[in-house]
Amino acid sequence: MFAVLSRQPYQQTGFKVLSRTPTIIALVCLLLSIVVVLAVTLVQIHHKKVLSPGLKYGIVLDAGSSRTTVYVYEWPAEKENDTGVVSQTFRCSVKGPGISSYANNPQEMVKPINNCMNKVKEKIPSHLHKNTPVYLGATAGMRLLRLQNETAANEVLKNIQNYFSSQAFDFRVAQIITGQEEGLYGWITANYLMGNFLEKTLWRKWIRPHRAETTGALDLGGASTQISFVPEENSQNSNSMLQVQLYGYKYRVYTRSFTCYGKDEAEKRLLASLAQNSRDQAKVDNPCYPRNYETALTMKHLYGSRCTESLRPANYNPGKLINFRGTGDPAVCQEKVSSLFNVAACNVKGEDCPFNGIQQPKLKGKFVAFAGFYYTANALNLTGSFPLADFNSRMRVFCSQDWNQLPFMLPKFEEVYARSYCFSANYIYHLFVQGYKFSPETWPQIYFQKEVGNSSIAWSLGYMLSLTNMIKAESQLIQLPVNSSLFAGLLFVFTAVALLCLIFVVYLCVVSFMQKNISHMDHVLATQ
The residues annotated as belonging to the active site are: 182
Q: How far apart are CA 121 and CA 321, in angstroms?
A: 43
DSSP H helices, 223-341, are 263-277, 299-303, 330-338
Element (H, E) at 379: helix 372-379
CB contact burial 1-40 (16+ within 10 A = b; e otherwise): eeeeeeeeeeeeeeeeeeeeeebeebeebbeebbebbeeb
Q: Radius of gyration of the chain from Cα atoms?
A: 36
Q: Give me the phi and psi of 377, to 5 degrees please.
A: -60, -40
Q: Determine the residue type at 371.
A: A
Q: Give me the phi and psi of 414, to 5 degrees please.
A: -135, 125
Q: How far apart are CA 26 and CA 501, in angstroms?
A: 5
Contact 344, 377 (CB under 8 A): no
What lies within 8 Å, CB to CB, of 164 at 6+ separation is 134, 136, 171, 174
Beta-bridge mates of residue 331:
none
Cα of first residue to Cα of last residue in the chain, in angstroms, is: 10
Q: How far apart are CA 517 and CA 525, in angstroms?
A: 12
Task: Label the pairing between strands 241-246 and 249-259.
Answer: antiparallel
Q: How far apart are CA 165 and CA 162, in angstroms?
A: 5
Q: How far apart are CA 392 and CA 385, in angstroms?
A: 14
Q: How many beta carbons lie within 10 A of that of residue 457, not counting itself?
A: 23
What lies within 8 Å, CB to CB, of 231 at 6+ separation is 237, 254, 361, 362, 364
What lies within 8 Å, CB to CB, of 479 at 6+ separation is 48, 49, 50, 51
Contact 321, 297 (CB under 8 A): yes
SS3 annotation, 325-344: EECCCHHHHHHHHHCCCCCC
Q: Is 494 helix (H, G, I), strand (E, B) or coil?
A: helix
The tally of CA atoms less than 13 A away on the side-chain side of residue 374 is 18
Q: With CA atoms as reference, report the closest residue to 246 among 51, 461, 60.
A: 461
DSSP letter string over 27-40? Answer: HHHHHHHHHHHHHH
